[in-house]
Each structure stands twice: as structure tokens, then as C-alpha cells.
Amino acid sequence: MKKIIAFWMGALLACVSLGVQANTPEPEALIRNTVEEVLSIVRQDKDIQAGNKEKVTELVDTKVLPHFNFTHMTRLAIGRNWRKASPEQREVLEIEFRNLLVRTYTNAFTTYQDQEVKVLPLKMANDATEVTVKTLIKNKGKPPTYVNYDMEKTARGWKVYDLLIEGVSLVTNYRGTFNDQIKQNGIDGLIKTLMEKNQSQVATE
């Protein structure tokens, strides 16, 4: 999972190899512009380059996470058990799953090594509400990595709700583990596990 998160981070930070054109579809432009802003900050901030987790977390929280739909991501990760969860359980699940992804993402942040990424042209209908932005990450001395961003149009604009790394879904990759934990200990048991995992990560920082 950490390897997948690291690719996720690399994809987000690296996909600025092509400038945004006036006719670039909105989802593609959103990713490019966000990444360009993040990279500009990283290049100028010595603390972030040195791995300052507080600054990295702040950067991720303010510049990256607003473009993700964590409600949809959590629902996908929980799968069919989402229907069994109460509104209160759903809210806590979303918070803890978000924290899990953010902390893993932050820890992987320093693995960025100036990869080159090609963003493939996106063709979409004017009335499209879901699209997939495809990218190709070129790693020096290694085979390229294919990363697809599944995005949806919401009332708050285009949001990412899943990423596929070499065909493997970042979000649904958790589903098997989560379903096993729910089967053994119920939804509250999964919530407890996620809380403990997040708290242990905080303690080691």
C-alpha cells in the first residue's frame, strides 16, 4: 500500500510536463494547475524539502485535499457495508479514512525525485459528469508507471474520487481488508482499528 501511495504522491507532484492550454478540458487543467502551484511551493520552501511534516501536512491540506471527494472515496473503500453504517458511523469512517490516506501520503512526500510525467490528451463531452485523466510517469532507470485519475463533476467543481496505479485502484485496494475487519468486529470495530492506526502514526511523528 505504501508503494501505491508513493506513486499517487509522485503522480500529483510531477504532472506538469505540459503547459495548460486554453482549450484544455477543465479536469485536466485542474490537476495541472494544482500540481504546478504545489511544486512552486516545494521548490522555494527549504523546510518542506528537508521533510518538515508539519509544513508538508499544511501544504497537502490546503492545496491538494480540496480537490478530492473523500465521501465518495470512503464509500468505495467500505463497499456494500456502507449501506449498513449509520450517518454517525459514516462521518467517522470518512474522517479516519481521510486521515489514514493523508498521513501515508505525507510520509511518502519526500520520495518525490523529479520524475517526468506525460499527461495524455483528454477528450470529453460538454455534458460529461465523470472522466478519467490519464498520465504516464517516467522514472529514471525504471519502467514507466501509468496513473489514471477518476474524477467527477460535483456542485463544488471537479473532484478526484479514485486513482488507478497500473490498473490497481488506490481506494478499492482497501476494500478487502475493511470488509474482513467489519465481518469480524463490525463497523465500530473497523472504526476502532482506523483510529488506533492513525493515533499510532501520530505518536511516531
Residue that wins the pLDDT comparison between 42 and 127: 127
pLDDT in tens, 141-155: 788 888 888 999 999
Residue 18 has pLDDT above 50, yes or no: no
pLDDT at 152: 97
Residue that wins the pLDDT comparison between 119 and 59: 59
Residue written as cell 505525507?
106
> What pTM, to 2 d.p., does this model score?
0.80
pLDDT in tens, 119-143: 788 889 989 999 998 887 777 778 8
Q: Which residues of 63-80 are buried (b: 16+ CB within 10 A; e: fewer)?
A: ebeebbbbbbbbbbbbee
Q: Could you tell me which of 157, 170, 162 has the C-alpha nearest to residue 132? A: 162
Q: In what order do the strands lie in the sheet with 130-138?
A: 116-119, 130-138, 145-154, 157-165, 168-169
Residue that wins the pLDDT comparison between 203 and 199: 199
pLDDT in tens, 169-188: 888 889 999 999 999 999 99
- Select from 3.40.50.2000, 3.40.50.300, 3.60.15.10, 3.10.450.710 the CATH code of 2-203: 3.10.450.710
Q: Could you tell me which of 67, 57, 7, 62 has the C-alpha nearest to residue 31? A: 67
Residue that wins the pLDDT comparison between 109 and 37: 37
**Domain extents in the chain:** 2-203
Residue 23 has pLDDT above 80, yes or no: no
Average of per-residue pLDDT across 66-76: 94
